[in-house]
Amino acid sequence: MSDPTRTYLDFERPVAELDAKIEELETLAASNSADVPDVADEIAKLRQKSAEQLASLYEKLDPWRKTQVARHPERPHFRDYRRLLIEDFEELCGDRRFSEDPAIVGGIGRFHGRSVVVMGHEKGRDTQSRLKHNFGMARPEGYRKAIRLMDMAEKFKMPVLTFVDTAGAYPGVGAEERGQAEAIARSTERCLTLGVPLISVIAGEGGSGGAVALASANSIIMLQHSIYSVISPEGCASILWKDAARARDAAIAMKITAQDLKELKIIDHIVKEPIGGAHRAPDDTVRKIGEKIDSVLSGLEGLRASDLRARRRERFLAIGRLEASEG
């Protein structure tokens, strides 16, 4: 059966029309107790056409369309990675200074038999959960909670896994009054000084310092249609051209896609998504990410704390050297 509740992106309209026709014919066939071979044949043809149209669209996604895919509401969220990859998860809340921040969820659990600390941005799935998690935009207490969890990971020698999916840190007045910039800086610093393996996954939208604060890792894994940037395309367009409508131009200019970032050596690994994006086969996508994390983590295990810190520091300093040499 087709899924009538699926959310289609603007550029997927041709596929949406075909799927709507399939749904209509399926309803017709289901309401008719007799066999309807002609309808069945037509459904099969439309399914094939829909699949071909979808493959054609996703074969040539530009950076702006990738941005739309990265923001798709049905894309796997942190809770999906936690459910499928982490056993015996125990959530740990609060920053021990101000309050709990549901925008970043974290705790301890087991990944493929290893004890790990795992944390990530959670955007929420419906209106109620999105409001609860503030659309994945963390406040200072969220980053201070992340620091607390990383401190614990180092104390008990547990690897850290982070899942990044945020438009950026929350820009509210209260957050700024409580030291948003300082909290992000300290979280980034803690990532860089961590004496245990740190692996980050850019699962959807990796925006600004709010993403870097959890992604200054030994190895960065990125889904094929995720994005990672210093600012959103809309924000960049507003600054450069005073026109947010030029977000597509900004997305192209900023080189925010996994493919561009891999070439620039800002990320390390790209995990291929199903045709049509991760939201069309979320569980399979999560399992593929799990396989890649397992492979990368195996290569980091056994390294001394000093080696892990040195490698992490060098990979980020190398980014600056690359930009300077090209400037």
In sequence order, which residues have a C-beta less than 8 Å from that of residue 1 and are 6 or more positions away? 23, 26
Assign residue 221 a region: left if phi > 0, alpha if psi is -120 to 50, beta otherwise?
A: beta
Assign 223 to helix, strand or coil: strand
3-state helix, strand, coil in the chain (%, to 5): 55, 15, 30
Per-residue model confidence as pLDDT tens digits over 279-327: 999 999 999 999 999 999 999 998 999 999 999 988 888 886 755 555 5
Closest CA relative to residue 129, chosen from 186, 80, 66 = 80
Secondary structure of residue 49 in the 3-state scheme: helix
Residue 239 CA: distances (Å) to CA of 227, 234, 236, 246: 19, 9, 5, 11
Q: What's the length of the chain? A: 327
Q: In terms of C-beta density within 10 A (0-12 exposed, 13-18 middle, 19 or more buried), how is residue 61 classed?
A: middle
- Which helix (H) or strand (E) covers residue 38, if one does? helix 37-59
Q: What is the mean pLDDT of residues 145-162?
A: 98
pLDDT confidence of 31, banded at 50, 70, 90? confident
Q: What is the pLDDT of residue 114?
A: 96
For the segment 207-231, the average pLDDT, to the nearest whole number, is 95
Total Cβ atoms within 10 A of residue 283: 11
> Could you tell me the two tokens for 304?
């001394």
What confidence tier does 198 reach under pLDDT thresholds 50, 70, 90?
very high
pLDDT tens digits, one per residue of 253-263: 999 999 999 99
Name residue, tokens 């809770």: 79
Question: CB of 243 within 8 A of CB of 202?
Answer: no
Residue 157 host element (H or E)? none
Average pLDDT of span 141-163: 97
pLDDT, averaged across the chain: 92
Question: 137 by DSSP, 3-state: which?
Answer: coil
Model confidence pLDDT, tens digit, residues 100-122: 999 999 999 999 999 999 999 99
The pTM score is: 0.92
Cα–Cα distance for residue pair 181/177, rounded to 1 Å: 10
- Pairing state of beta strands 104-111 and 114-121? antiparallel
% residues pLDDT > 90 (the chain): 83
